[in-house]
Structure 1
Amino acid sequence: MKSILIFLMGMTLLVTNISAQQALWGGQAIVSPEINSDNTVTFRLMAPGADSVFVTGDFLPTEKIKTPMGEFDGPGKAALTKDDKGVWSFTSQTLSPELYSYSFIIDGFSTTDPSNPFLIRDVASITNIFIVGGGRADLYKVNDIPHGSVTRRWYESPGLEMDRRVTIYTPPGYETSSDKYPVLYLLHGAGGDEEAWISLGRTAQIMDNLIAQGKAKPMIVVMPNGNVIQDAAPGEGHEGFYKPQFMVPKTMDGTYEANFMDIIKFVESNYRVKADKADRAVAGLSMGGFHSFHISRYYPNTFDYVGLFSAAIMPREDATSKVYDDIDGTLKKQMENGYELYWIAIGKTDFLYQANADLRKQMDAMGMKYSYTETEGGHIWRNWRVYLSDFVPLLFK
């Protein structure tokens, strides 16, 4: 009996050990992607039974993609070739320094690279990432410098009648300092949440690097969830695991803007901050730019710095919230109260380009001052990381 017990215990340990090593055995013994010395990148995939393999990503020339919302520029694709061992490969042209995303298409099925564990989620799409270093892309890397902290906090929102999750970056030395800091409220776009800027936007890396280089003042960055029906990002709140959607109800109906002070009150009650107009900034991309535009004029004496990154501008025709009443009048009030910087940035091929041109025309007619940046490209994270990197050094001078 004793020998049987010892045997069973041994088998249990063996099975446990095998289970623990499955993650090691599950990977492919190849390198992909491999960043070569000339900044070309080689992708590889072991798939001996596949008939075709393509790589698609934002490092390739764009292609026109038809969607229900219209025709847009999307990532191109390139064919991999198979060797006699069943390994497919493709080497790109020399790439400029940047953070890139990609995925594979195997016999028509899109999937991630099993050799690359580094992933990002954009709405419901999962892609791999890699960085070609140098130049601006070094801002997106973790370098050997002092680092800030990133925490997920829950705050009470009486206006929304729920506790909600927010991501907050505090600069290097915050925990051991008694200093008070200015605050940037950084808002995501449609389909995003409180994880978007910290993951896709590389906010912590950008802030750490700019502060270490002396190009930005140490500040707190608050990244809320702009989807008012959610308490947190999909998989992080009480609704559990569900597929993220591009647009959820009530995201642009004025509810978020009307209750934004709940976030500010939480931050100013729980963090060492300078709680005044001169030390508050609000900025956002796309839908977050829409929110930044309307929040800053709805509370016209609250922010000295406003950033609109590829912003949606005007509310839908069926929007009835008082937040959207008297847009011209509240903009005029914001202008009269004064501010340090109103910063607008847009890509030349962005589908919101005309909306931003119309806003600038409206502001010109009012005599409302702003700074304007126009870049190549469209409605993409590559631009928004650039905009954040350019905007932050202008704050709290």
Structure 2
Amino acid sequence: MFRWVAALLVLVGLAMPLSAEDHGRTIEYERIAAAGLPDQRLTIWLPPGYDAATERYPVLYMHDGHNLFDPAKSNFNKVWAADKAMLAAMASGAVEPHIIIGIWAPGPDRYRQYLPRSAYDTAPVAVRAQMDAAAGGAVVSDRYLAWITGPLKSWVDASFRTRTGRDDTAIVGSSMGGLMSCYAFLEAPEVFGKAGCVSSHWPAVDPRAVEGEDSGVRQLWDAWFAARLGAPDGRRVWLDHGTATLDQYYAPYQKVVDARFAAAGWQKGRDWESRVYEGAEHEENAWAARLPEIFGWLLRK
């Protein structure tokens, strides 16, 4: 059951202080075998004082882990600066220190690993054909979610001092990772009590190819949320988008999703939040700029 754990533990974990001060440290694990998935990779951030402490910590899982901390390892030489955002949220006094589990995207397999399988299965035929072309292989987000909630979470909880319950477990991602975070939240509500769906790529394919209601994509997301959202039950979701570059296409979809949250009895500002950032582009610097605000709302005590 945990063959991959044994492989993980023999890997060299590189513990790297983020500065001379205690700003936390990162540990990397490479080439993690996961059944039915491309090899996975992790960058884990431990908050300041973790090594000298005895208490347990809530956990934040984040997609696109290569773009979270170190520009030299990122796709575009820019990052979310998730460590700095967490430190800022902690300094406000509203957020407890969290362990961050950064899960790297598997290169060209990213799209098929992040596209929600249950949405793909119910997509209009023409849209699904476009998804197939973009995926270049089987959609495996269901396997990815099963790996996160099963072997990965079991190993994290056994290896680090975590608080394991739903209310202490969050998941955050952007673009296709935003869709994946909503998918994880809706399909595994017993595991994730909080989700951040940042600049979620609601069109799922080239947005120019599915503009307008007649494509069925807006209806797809409305029905998808309607079937899975349920009552808040103490859970919390953050949604947002900018208005420039790829984000300029997201407003019509976000309005549909927002309406579904309201119809399901979720109270905006308490259970769910939806923000629009004027002029913000679809890129890491824009997400880094608002990440302290996201953490402050989503992860607040």
Normalised to the residue count of structure 1, the TM-score between the two structures is: 0.50
Q: Say if 1:226 and 1:251, in contact at 8 Å, map to a contact too.
A: no
- Structure 1 residue 185, shift from structure 2 partner: 1.0
Between structures 1 and 2, the one with greater helix share: 2
2:68 corresponds to which residue? 197
Amino acid at match of 1:390: E
1:300 corresponds to which residue? 189
1:331 corresponds to which residue? 229
d(CA) in 2 for partners of 1:143, 1:212: 17
Q: Which residue of 25, 29, 34 maps to 1:153?
A: 29
2:165 corresponds to which residue? 276
1:309 pairs with 2:224: no
d(CA) in 1 for partners of 2:203, 2:261: 14
1:182 corresponds to which residue? 58
1:352 corresponds to which residue? 250
d(CA) in 1 for partners of 2:284, 2:98: 22
Structure 1 stretches lacking a partner, 5+ long: 1-141, 189-193, 232-246, 318-324
Greater RCO (Cα-Cα under 8 Å, separation 6 or more): 2
d(CA) in 2 for partners of 1:166, 1:380: 21
- Structure 1 residue 381, shift from structure 2 partner: 2.2
Q: Say if 1:152 and 1:168, in contact at 8 Å, map to a contact too.
A: yes
- Structure 1 residue 396, shift from structure 2 partner: 4.6
Task: Give the direction of change, closer, same or farther, for the CA distance of 1:158–1:164 in structure 2 (3 Å limit).
Answer: closer
2:148 corresponds to which residue? 260
d(CA) in 1 for partners of 2:203, 2:188: 17
- Structure 1 residue 387, shift from structure 2 partner: 2.9
- Structure 1 residue 248, shift from structure 2 partner: 6.2
Radius of gyration: which is bigger? 1
2:259 corresponds to which residue? 361
- Per-residue CA deviations over 1:22-56 (Å, capped at 9, x if unaligned) read xxxxxxxxxxxxxxxxxxxxxxxxxxxxxxxxxxx
d(CA) in 2 for partners of 1:381, 1:161: 26
1:208 corresponds to which residue? 87
SS of corresponding position for 2:101:
strand
1:34 corresponds to which residue? none
d(CA) in 2 for partners of 1:310, 1:346: 4
1:384 pairs with 2:287: yes
SS of corresponding position for 1:293:
helix
d(CA) in 1 for partners of 2:300, 2:48: 17
Task: Give the direction of change, closer, same or farther, for the CA distance of 1:290–1:326 in structure 2 (3 Å limit).
Answer: closer
Q: Say if 2:34 and 2:40, in contact at 8 Å, map to a contact too.
A: no
Q: Say if 1:313 and 1:359, in contact at 8 Å, map to a contact too.
A: no
Q: Say if 1:167 and 1:224, in contact at 8 Å, map to a contact too.
A: yes
Q: Say if 1:278 and 1:304, in contact at 8 Å, map to a contact too.
A: yes
- Structure 1 residue 361, shift from structure 2 partner: 1.9
SS of corresponding position for 2:226:
helix
- Per-residue CA deviations over 1:330-355 (Å, capped at 9, x if unaligned) read 222xx35x134211111134222222
Structure 2 stretches lacking a partner, 5+ long: 1-17, 71-78, 111-133, 206-214, 216-222
Amino acid at match of 1:198: F
Task: Give the direction of change, closer, same or farther, for the CA distance of 1:352–1:157 in structure 2 (3 Å limit).
Answer: farther
Aligned length: 226
Percent identity for Structure 1 against Structure 2: 22
Task: Give the direction of change, closer, same or farther, for the CA distance of 1:148–1:357 in structure 2 (3 Å limit).
Answer: same
d(CA) in 2 for partners of 1:269, 1:228: 28
- Structure 1 residue 374, shift from structure 2 partner: 1.6
Task: Give the direction of change, closer, same or farther, for the CA distance of 1:301–1:353 in structure 2 (3 Å limit).
Answer: same
- Structure 1 residue 218, shift from structure 2 partner: 0.9
Task: Give the direction of change, closer, same or farther, for the CA distance of 1:165–1:254 in structure 2 (3 Å limit).
Answer: closer
Q: Which residue of 337, 360, 374 maps to 2:276?
A: 374
Task: Give the direction of change, closer, same or farther, for the CA distance of 1:206–1:374 in structure 2 (3 Å limit).
Answer: same
